[in-house]
Amino acid sequence: MLQSMQSYMVLERLGEGAHGVVVRAKELATGRIVALKKVSVRPHQILPVMVFREIKALQHLDHPNVVTLEHVFTHGSAFVMCFEYAERDLADLLKSSRTPMPEPHVKTWSHMLLSGVAHLHEHSILHRDLKPANLLITLAGQLKITDFGQARLFDASVSPTSYPMSHQVATRWYRAPELLYGARYYTEAVDLWAVGAIIGELLHHAPLFPGQNDIDQLYVVLSSLGTPSDDEWPTMRQLPDFHKIHFPEFPKRSVEDLIPDASPSALDLVGQFLVYDGAKRTSAVDALKHHYFQVAPFPVDVTVSPLDLNFASTAAPSD
∠ Cα 97 211 171 (to 5°): 75
- Residues annotated in the binding site, as ranges? 37
Cβ–Cβ under 8 Å, residues 109 and 306: no
Q: In degrees, to the nearest 5, what angle opens at C-alpha 108 toward C-alphas 103 and 114? A: 125
pTM, whole model, 2 decimals? Answer: 0.91
191 catalytically annotated: no
* Burial (Cβ within 10 Å: 0-12, 13-18, ≥19) of residue 52: middle
Residue list, annotated binding site for ATP: 37
The full length of the chain comes to 319
Domains in the chain with CATH codes: 5-84 (3.30.200.20), 88-294 (1.10.510.10)
Q: Check if the beta carbon of residue 82 is closer than 8 Å to that of residue 72.
A: yes
Rounded to an integer, what distance in angstroms lies between the CA atom of residue 110 and that of residue 292?
A: 10
H-state helical runs in 62-151: 90-96, 103-122
Pairing of strands 125-126, 88-89: unpaired
What's the pLDDT at 318?
A: 39
Q: Which of 89, 92, 129, 155 is catalytic?
A: 129
β-pairing, 20-27 with 125-126?
A: unpaired
Q: What pLDDT score does 276 carry? A: 96
Q: Give the Cα separation of 127 and 116 in Å (integer).
A: 11
Question: Which pLDDT tens digits describe the chain residue by residue (319 residues)?
Answer: 567 888 898 999 987 765 678 889 999 999 999 999 888 776 656 666 777 777 878 888 889 999 988 888 888 778 888 999 998 999 999 998 888 889 999 999 999 999 999 999 999 899 999 999 999 999 999 999 998 888 888 766 666 656 777 787 778 999 999 999 998 888 999 999 999 999 999 999 999 999 999 999 999 999 999 999 999 999 989 898 888 888 899 999 999 999 999 999 999 999 999 999 999 999 999 999 999 999 999 999 998 999 988 877 654 443 3
